[in-house]
Amino acid sequence: MNESNVINCYLLLSCFIPISFRGQVTIDFLRLARFSLFGTFWVAPTVFAWVKLSSKLIPGTSLRVAATKAILEQFTYGPFSITAFYFGMNLLEGKNTKEAWLEVKNKFLPTWKVIFVILNFSAPANLIDNFFLDWSNILASGTDF
């Protein structure tokens, strides 16, 4: 399974069976379709492109390079992906561009703040990911992992 498939599976599983607090299992097929389309045709290709670009901008696999990539990602791909997610998902829900931009405006900063809090806890994982795995080679070769 390649990176594109892994990302798409995570998106599918995250919305396929939302479990309510009452323990009931429901399946929202329209939401499932929106996340599937977004993950397949937007998230996977942009993550692939970002990994290729960051590997060219900052070549190497040292700990210093991995840390640089992890920090750079938070200030470049992070804001891009937040904006694309809110805008794209609103369009897929049938909202117009004005409504989609309003959603981005209202949710971008709070989302990015949460990501910074999470970054404090996930930074070691991101660093290990960038240090030990050369994702550009894995993605380019389509190697299963």
Question: What's the domain count of the chain?
Answer: 1
Highest mean pLDDT among 25-29, 78-82, 129-133, 138-142: 78-82
d(CA 114, CA 47): 20
d(CA 125, CA 131): 10
d(CA 63, CA 113): 26
pLDDT band at 134 (very low <50, low <70, confident <90, very high): low
How much is the pTM? Answer: 0.67
In the block, residue with structure tokens 């990994």: 51
What the block records as the tokens of 45 is 């290709």
Query: Residue 27, SS3?
Result: coil
Helix axes 77-92, 63-75, angle to 10 degrees: 40
Q: Which domain holds residue 110?
A: 3-141
Task: Summarize pLDDT for 7-21 with one digit per residue, the tens.
Answer: 555 555 555 555 555
In the block, residue with structure tokens 């190697």: 143
Pick the residue with more confidence: 11 or 76? Answer: 76
